Structure 1
Amino acid sequence: MANTKLIVLAFSLYIMLLPFVFDLANAQGLTSGFYNLSCPSAEKLVKTMTEKFVAHAPSFAPSLLRLHFHDCFVRGCDASVLVNSTSNNTAEKDSIPNLTLRGFQIIDAIKSALEKQCPGVVSCADIVALVARDAVTAIGGPTWPVLTGRRDGTKSLATDALTELPAPTMNITQLKANFASVGLSVKDLAVLSGGHTIGISHCTSFAIRLYNFTGKNDSDPSLHPNYVALLKKQCPLTTLLTSIVEMDPGSFRTFDTHYYSVVGRRKGMFTSDGALLTDSTTLAYVQAQASPQSSTFLTDFGQSMMNMGKIGVLTGTSGTIRNQCAIIN
């Protein structure tokens, strides 16, 4: 009987403490309004400054979205992509996949403004996440809740970017494995690929599909022949290194479902775009977005961005809060 009473008492105590345990666990992670007390105007300042930069140069919207993507897939969302190289270390920023990244000066400007208001409080990692959302919204794209509380990493290695970033040349098996390695689903893969609905690409990122797909001066047969001909005109061999093209032809400034229509017609620019047609789950998603009226993409994108924003985050006492985003304290 005594043992029974002890068991009941212990269980009652467990039930009483359970909410506290969950709250404690949540406190160690990301939360909504993390800066409400420590820097109340932080999110408003980020939004206002981002909107001004994007209004002046809308082409920065896809660049800032890409910056968040490239940050999270390497060492997690810890702002390691922002760090400058030193004489002793080549950082992610100078890795080959990141040489075309843009928008660093925008992050630096926002960080500088926040440091004047709330020194040493707002992390560069949170700034990158907030700016990506606010930049997409500024051009008429969807919005989503950005949980905050990330801290900044203390390492940035160029070799990590080479091995951890999903490449535009990946097939579906490689892409699924890459996304799974950071805890993202196959649906997240299909949805986040839709980020290619805005922005441009350098011809060098997909030139092999046009000119030397199998090493015999041939084109990728999975790419629509009419699109091959168009891309060859836009990316002639004589200017291959400097030419750029729209990733979502005719709609590259508008955040919409047009990307999926393009991919469905075998006109996805990258091998990774075309790969979505080679898996039953991703193919079904591409087909489901064909009609803007019934598309779920804009809602799905926000959820997948939230999922991505949680990858490998440093919270609590892990990591640091950098004084300057490009320099590790």
Structure 2
Amino acid sequence: MASLTHFFLLSLSLLSLFASSSNAQLSPNFYARSCPNLQAIVRNTMRQALAREARLGASILRLFFHDCFVNGCDAGILLDDTGSFTGEKQAFPNLSARGYEVIDSVKTNVEAACNGTVSCADILALAAREGVFLLGGPSWAVPLGRRDSRTASQSKANSEIPGPSSELSTLISMFAAKGLNAREMTVLSGGHTIGQGQCNFFRDRIYNESNIDPSFAAARRANCPRTGGDTNLAPLDPTPNKFDNTYYKDLVVRRGLFHSDQVLFNGGSQDALVRSYSSNSVLFFRDFASAMVKMSSITPLTGSQGEIRKNCRVVN
């Protein structure tokens, strides 16, 4: 798996050129002189975090996705609420978000080496990649040079982040609003090959839907009663700590955990692509890396916009 991901890193370096063409101020080499050990610091810190709890790889990937879908990849999701400021952390889609302390640790280690140089937005983008890579997934050249927002939007977080009960048409339109096409939506949904889901997000599916394998529904019901147990966890696929294409294999046999997962394979426009990913992990890894580069370049703050936060949780 490692040799495969190294191949992707080499071949996908060209993808960064695409990202840079859409915003010429982003570049994988942005910190080559100002913080040459940045990527090693991020990887080492993430490796330590995942050694303690492998699920954190999925948690950080989710943080990054939720960040990019609200005002672009600007680390707005990391800002704490204060008496005079309401951020995104208490928005409904983010109530179960986790991993903030990992980003704090990465930031502390980066600041020790390169004080006041690297944005929290770039740290989050790099940490998301490392979480995927360290769990066996692909790597890619992350375009860098984002700056941190001085604000956040709880209302946009509540309305612009796709939910676990979303229909296929809703997913396609919500991703399209961010410049991502249906293929990119389907491959980014493959991030659900790692991590866990809470009972309250899949209860309706396992009790009320017909497009579900009966034995799978019965197994999930054992830990997700009709009432209570809202925060009980179930794996998003059978290998929640391994980044692979099992997620798509599950969809083909009606074992998607969330409604928004199974709608990708339900007699609709994405069925053929799901089948392709289920039988071709190389294709899935390639497309996932490409889509992550594109998503990471959604309306970044660059140049003199925003700031470089000293503490990812508060504006300077």
Name 2:36's counterpart in structure 1. Answer: 40
Q: What SS does the aligned partner of 2:265 have? A: helix
CA distance in 2, matches of 1:25, 1:167: 31
CA distance in 2, matches of 1:100, 1:42: 29
Determine whether 1:229 maps to 2:218. Answer: yes
Map Cα deviations across residues 110-159 of structure 1 (whole Å, 9 max, x no partner). Answer: 11222222221100000000001111111221111111001111111222
Question: How much has 1:243 moved relative to structure 2?
Answer: 1.1
Q: What SS does the aligned partner of 1:176 have? A: helix
Amino acid at match of 2:28: S
CA distance in 2, matches of 1:112, 1:280: 46
Determine whether 1:145 maps to 2:145. Answer: no
Asked if structure 1 preserves the Cα contact closer than 8 Å seen for 2:70 and 2:153, the reply is no
Name 2:188's counterpart in structure 1. Answer: 192
Question: How much has 1:319 moved relative to structure 2?
Answer: 1.3
Asked if structure 2 preserves the Cα contact closer than 8 Å seen for 1:266 and 1:274, the reply is yes
TM-score for the superposition, normalised by structure 1: 0.86
Name 1:321's counterpart in structure 2. Answer: 308
Asked if structure 2 preserves the Cα contact closer than 8 Å seen for 1:64 and 1:102, the reply is yes
Determine whether 1:252 maps to 2:203. Answer: no
Asked if structure 2 preserves the Cα contact closer than 8 Å seen for 1:235 and 1:243, the reply is yes
Q: What SS does the aligned partner of 1:151 have? A: coil
CA distance in 2, matches of 1:205, 1:222: 17
Unaligned runs of at least 5 residues, structure 2:
1-19
Asked if structure 2 preserves the Cα contact closer than 8 Å seen for 1:191 and 1:297, the reply is yes
CA distance in 2, matches of 1:208, 1:26: 41
TM-score for the superposition, normalised by structure 2: 0.89
Map Cα deviations across residues 154-209 of structure 1 (whole Å, 9 max, x no partner). Answer: 11122221011011111011100000000001111110111111110100112122
Amino acid at match of 1:323: K
* Aligned match for 1:287, one of 244, 256, 275: 275
Determine whether 1:276 maps to 2:272. Answer: no
Name 2:289's counterpart in structure 1. Answer: 302
Structure 1, 110-119 or 304-313: larger mean CA deviation: 110-119
Name 1:8's counterpart in structure 2. Answer: none
CA distance in 1, matches of 2:73, 2:23: 18
Name 1:215's counterpart in structure 2. Answer: none
Amino acid at match of 2:144: T
Structure 1, 277-286 or 104-113: larger mean CA deviation: 277-286
CA distance in 2, matches of 1:254, 1:199: 9
CA distance in 2, matches of 1:27, 1:284: 33
Question: How much has 1:238 moved relative to structure 2?
Answer: 4.9
Q: Which is higher, the Rg of structure 1 or of structure 2?
A: 1
Question: How much has 1:240 moved relative to structure 2?
Answer: 2.3
Question: How much has 1:289 moved relative to structure 2?
Answer: 2.1
Question: How much has 1:227 moved relative to structure 2?
Answer: 2.3
Asked if structure 1 preserves the Cα contact closer than 8 Å seen for 2:211 and 2:266, the reply is no
Query: What does 1:1-329 correspond to in 2, within 5 Å?
Result: 28-211=24-207, 219-248=208-237, 250-278=238-266, 280-292=268-280, 295-329=282-316
Asked if structure 2 preserves the Cα contact closer than 8 Å seen for 1:203 and 1:235, the reply is yes
Q: What SS does the aligned partner of 2:234 have? A: strand
Q: What SS does the aligned partner of 1:58 have? A: coil
Amino acid at match of 1:163: S
Map Cα deviations across residues 258-284 of structure 1 (whole Å, 9 max, x no partner). Answer: 110101111111111111124654211
